[in-house]
Structure 1
Amino acid sequence: METNQLGWGAFVAIGLRKQGLSRYQRGRESDILALPAVFVDVDDLDVATLHRLQAIQPHPSCITFTGGGYHAYWWLDDPLSDMKLARKILRGLQRKAGGDALSVVNSLRLPGSRNSKPQRHNALCHIVEQQNSYYPATAFEHLLPRPTKKLAPQRTRQPIRQHRAGNTLNPALLQAVSGHLLHMGYVGRGDWLSGHCLYPHQHQHDDRHPSFGFNTRTGYGNCFRCGSILLKDICLTLGIQPADYGGLYI
């Protein structure tokens, strides 16, 4: 909390990590052992946002004010180790609450700390409500996408052409990555988002001085130390699954 008083953001990781990660490593999805809670982040100060979160079923175990909106948490009976299911639940909560795209590796603002973003005016993050409610993962089944019924392929004498993805990056995926980076504290300027490198372990001083930029139009990342980074590699590092947004291309 001392660094928070000096202007640094204070965050808490929800996912239980494997041992051996350095101080500045959030880890990839493969480094997450389990989630003791599922969560959602809505960057909207309107009181209607709070009411919308309170109306979600099952009712949130905890809702916090972040200075820029609200976080909601649902404690789980048993930590969820199925990351595929965890991603689907987080996606379902995002759709229900109108929140940001989050992944299992996300860290959220720590209640009791100050929101250090300039536009948040050092607002105090605090708990709005909390109850001792724990839920099984099955309590969120109604939020999961329903499987679509696959039609049997029709026989045809015409040769079947193999579908190839286009060269246009998926805008929904670009938006998800951009939202994730903004949530991490990246700063936008034009088409670029700037912040600390996603691979601090490759820097001599863990990228103490931010050197990474992400182009929200082209999907390329660029670091003074690591060079150019493709969108698919950025997604892998952030724990974002392109398939959840319709693929890498449209």
Structure 2
Amino acid sequence: MRIALKYIKKIVFVVIIAAFIFIAKEARNYVFSVDGYSCNFDNIISCDHKNKIFNFINLSKELKICSLESISQKIQEKFCVIKNIELSHAANGILNLNIYSNKPKFILNDRYVLSENKIIFEKSIFSKNFLNDCKPVTLNSDEITNEIEDSFRQMIFSFPEQYFQEYELIRESRAKSYLLDKTNKNFSILFNDFVVPDDRLLAYCSYIKNELQARGEFNRKVKKNWFADIRFEDQIVVVSK
């Protein structure tokens, strides 16, 4: 009987210690009182957008009653351009936030930006220095939203960056896009979201362009636009208009 009682006491002691540790972990996020915020941003987003984020953080009553672990989540839900937030707190009650943003990758119709997390934003959100490295894309639509097809996002991110040095990308629909040759505006490669040109196909198209050039097709008085259509299986169809 004494042995059983001894084991029961040990079990109760272990349970109490475990409960104390659990409660301490859950409570530690609430012990720290937030008296103010210090936000450090990277240089990816514009000053105006940094101010919007800081004002939201500084004026939000909801954040003051959140655990530290949920503060980052709530800020990122409000501003999805944010990639990551590192939190630390000082003894004076100031919560330090190091805020990192998703990089812009493509400029759409010179008005919008498709970022590395595949979300479309207003161009004004990003700093001009980072926009200079973005690749331009023309879409056959004035209204560009995040409702755009996933096939477009997959297509555009599958393009090697060097393609944009030689071609301009113009997208009419998921079934028809053009790579317009920068050195010869009368030659384009026609493709779609599901058949994207690779190095092999581009080499074939370059050969076709050179053959047309050698025949003098681009120097005629009545100029025609030539298209190398790669949307067909195992063949390239060359047409002129």
Calculate the TM-score normalised by the size of structure 2: 0.22
Return the structure number with greater helix share.
Answer: 2
Calculate the TM-score normalised by the size of structure 1: 0.21
Query: Which structure would you say has the larger RCO, counting Cα contacts within 8 Å and 6 or more residues apart?
Result: 1
